[in-house]
Amino acid sequence: MENPTSSAINKLPEYEPDKIKSRPAFSTFSAAYYPGGNGSSSELQNSFIPTSSLQRKRKRFATTWSIAVLSVIASACAVFYSHRVMVNQNALPSFLESQPGTTVLVVNILSHLVAFLCWSLFTDTMEALRWALACRPQGILLTSFLAMSRATPIAGAIYLCLTKGAHQIWSIQRISCHIAVSVLGLVLITNVSYKTIYTPYSRDVDDTNATQRVVAGLAPVSTYGLGYISNAIINAFAAYTISFLTDPRFVASVGPVQCNGTDCLSLFLPGGMDSVRYDDGSGNSSLFTGEFPGDYTTVVINDAPGYQIEYSSIDSVAPGFEFNRETDCQMYLQSLGDGILLCMVEKGPQLLLGWTVCPMNTYLSNECQSNLTWTETINWNTTVAMYSRKASVAYDRQNISILSIESISEPISYPVPVAAFQVFCSIVLAPIPTVLNMSANSTAFDDSGTNIDVEYSISLLLRLYESQYQTYSDGGLSILRGFIAVPFQFSTALQQMGDINLFPEDNHVTASLSKASYRAIIDSWTVWVFGGLAALLTIWGVGCLCLISFYAPSSPNTSQFPEIDITSKGSIQFVDDSLDDLAKTTRSYGLGNGMSKEVVRAIRGKRVYCGACPGPLGEKVILLVMEKGQVDILNQDEKYT
């Protein structure tokens, strides 16, 4: 059987010495590099040692100048867009309108584009600058030459910065630029919030009717006009008691001033759109009479007065407090065979309030007034504190609910109007006549009829909460809190029925017919930081480019690959052993296997010079040397290898 290995060997071509002898000798092939070669020097030089002209600076730095221009344009676009869309809260032109997520994406792209351009401008300029400095007669410190290189990482720049010397200036600039570029990519999106912006809108081009003079907000609580108004109207307002605290047309949550804990409830009553009247002196015209057409979606009432009401438990204010049933409490609803015991005491600026209702079994037995043991326990109690504040509030045009509180003033303590509340109780919880005769007195019939509705509704709900929903502690408490807030809310409406011209000047404000847009918002300082850093980096780059282009000596052509640039200019063989080129010198320092510490220690204080020297065939070779005077300056348009 044939050996496969032997078979393969037998198939190899036979040794042909004549063919080998006919190939060019090694000395001929390398004549361009070795003096005394057998080939034609000029022919081989043209074939194997390509040369190129030293480009004019205008052409060589055209890309870097283009990056500088793009950096200016991108920075201007980023600053304009981010400030106009995310800081300025005026109405946006249609071409800038977008979803908040899209806005953030655009700003993110622009900021990273600016960061990329600024970093490219910095590294390209620094690279060009180090070669220009190396081409001076005095050269440049080798440590500075390394600190300015785009190939040196930030860790290397930090390492160089730890060693004293002039190179620290360039290392600090590299590190600072790296930090600045990182900030450029992040600062515009570090504190993004999302908010509904209301911009005044009008059907007229000049926006003359986008803002209207109105009477709005809550006036000081008063009993003015009660003698001229049917009690049935007051009872109608009292019917809001059941769900008042959760009615978005009248109530908005705000941060508490004093109370805290789980039993603290802080609400703001801005007045609502129901009480807004056009400021024409009549008090009869609202903003919904059809005089203001257009596709505005919201109405913003600006700086109108309102009341903040804070509720808390009595135990949190006066631990162990007990109402005096004889002096602090009043019984109501006896005429219905029912009973509600309402107690109130003023304690400083606060009102302590509590009530209890005749229990279900006692009521069904018709013993609410004969068996008063149920009055020994106050089932629900609260404290009430009030503050006067001015606020700009946005309302939905369609359902007049509160959308948001745009601004609000500091709270000013306001004494709880106990007298007005007592008058309200005497009307709403008034005794019901045994006989109701509409034909005899229609007004009295209306008043008593509405009284029955309110009184029965409140007592029934309180009884259900007391007997069937014992663990639902907020049931009767919510009704109690709403019951005291209702007269403060609707006192303004009752006064409007009297004479709206008596309202204080604070209630004469403006209403802005507005369009709502949901937008991403940032702080203005982030835009200024971004613009400042981008401008600083761009100005630095342009300034250095001007210096290199117009004042610096000619420097060699370079690429985006600094390792190749250094390698190709670092050594020259078979010319003059007295030349201290970069490669030979660093090798003599033992840096062929050196680490960072050895490198910095060996080259510290050494300078590097870039210039031209004659090659083996008389060509001009660009070379980095470590001794002054060993190379000539470079000249524009001359050819070098």
Q: What is the mean pLDDT of residues 212-238?
A: 80
Same domain, 363 and 331: yes
Quote the number of domains for the chain.
3
Task: Say if 89 falls within a structural domain.
Answer: yes
Same domain, 33 and 85: no
Q: Is 90 exceeded by the pLDDT of residue 467?
A: no
Same domain, 65 and 9: no
Query: Helices 524-550 and 62-86 sit at what angle, rounded to 10 degrees?
Result: 170
Nearest to 421 by CA among 230, 229, 241, 215: 241
> Percentage of residues in the chain with pLDDT exceeding 90?
48
Q: Is 70 exceeded by the pLDDT of residue 313?
A: yes
Listed in sequence order, the residues at least 6 apart from 623 whose beta carbon sits closer than 8 Å to its beta carbon are 569, 570, 571, 572, 579, 581, 610, 611, 612, 613, 631
Task: Say if 560 falls within a structural domain.
Answer: no
Task: Say if 577 falls within a structural domain.
Answer: no
Q: What is the pLDDT of residues 403-457, one digit of tens each?
A: 999 999 999 999 999 988 888 888 888 887 766 656 656 666 667 777 788 888 8
Q: How much is the pLDDT for 45?
A: 45
Q: What is the pLDDT of residues 321-333, one digit of tens each?
A: 999 999 999 999 8
Same domain, 387 and 486: yes
**Burial of residue 251 (number of CB atoms within 10 Å: 0-12, 13-18, 19+):** buried
Decide which of 509, 536, 553 is a domain's last residue: 553
CA-CA distance, 394 to 376, in Å (whole number)? 46
Same domain, 188 and 202: no
Count of other CB atoms within 10 angstroms of residue 362: 20
CA dihedral of 497, 248, 295, 211, whole degrees rounded to 10: 50
> Percentage of residues in the chain with pLDDT exceeding 70?
86
Task: Say if 161 falls within a structural domain.
Answer: yes
Q: Residue 11: which pLDDT band, with cuts at 50, 70 and 90? A: very low
Domain of residue 312, residue span: 197-517
Same domain, 497 and 363: yes
Pairing of β 252-253 and β 620-625: unpaired
Task: Say if 375 falls within a structural domain.
Answer: yes
Q: How much is the pLDDT for 542?
A: 96
Q: How much is the pLDDT for 101?
A: 92
Q: How much is the pLDDT for 267?
A: 96
Task: Say if 400 falls within a structural domain.
Answer: yes
Greatest Cα pair distance, the chain, in angstroms, is 145
CA-CA distance, 512 to 394, in Å (whole number)? 9
Same domain, 329 and 185: no
Q: Which residue has the higher pLDDT, 234 or 390?
A: 390
Q: What is the pLDDT of residues 101-126, one digit of tens each?
A: 999 999 999 999 999 999 999 999 99
Q: Residue 402: which pLDDT band, with cuts at 50, 70 and 90? A: very high
Q: Is 70 exceeded by the pLDDT of residue 41?
A: no
- 400 with 272: CB under 8 angstroms? yes
CA-CA distance, 215 to 362, in Å (whole number)? 49
Weakest mean pLDDT among 163-177, 223-237, 369-383: 223-237
CB-based contacts of 171-180 (< 8 A; 24+ apart in sequence): 171/147, 173/126, 174/126, 174/147, 174/148, 177/118, 177/119, 177/122, 177/537, 178/119, 178/154, 180/118, 180/533, 180/536, 180/537
**Burial of residue 198 (number of CB atoms within 10 Å: 0-12, 13-18, 19+):** buried
Task: Say if 596 falls within a structural domain.
Answer: no
Task: Say if 75 falls within a structural domain.
Answer: yes
Same domain, 497 and 473: yes
Q: How much is the pLDDT for 216?
A: 93
What tokens does 124 get?
């390209």
Q: What is the mean pLDDT of residues 78-82?
A: 96
Q: What is the mean pLDDT of residues 136-149?
A: 93
Full-model pTM: 0.70
Q: What is the CA radius of gyration of the chain?
A: 45
Q: What is the pLDDT of residues 498-547, one digit of tens each?
A: 778 888 999 999 998 888 889 999 999 999 999 999 999 999 999 999 99
Same domain, 210 and 183: no
- 420 with 307: CB under 8 angstroms? no
Same domain, 222 and 164: no
Backbone phi and psi for residue 233, each to the nearest 5 degrees, phi listed first? -65, -40
Weakest mean pLDDT among 33-42, 263-272, 542-551: 33-42
Q: Residue 7: which pLDDT band, with cuts at 50, 70 and 90? A: very low
Q: How much is the pLDDT for 472?
A: 79
Same domain, 217 and 144: no
Q: Residue 27: which pLDDT band, with cuts at 50, 70 and 90? A: very low
Q: What is the mean pLDDT of residues 271-297?
A: 80
Same domain, 508 and 534: no
Q: Is 80 exceeded by the pLDDT of residue 236?
A: yes
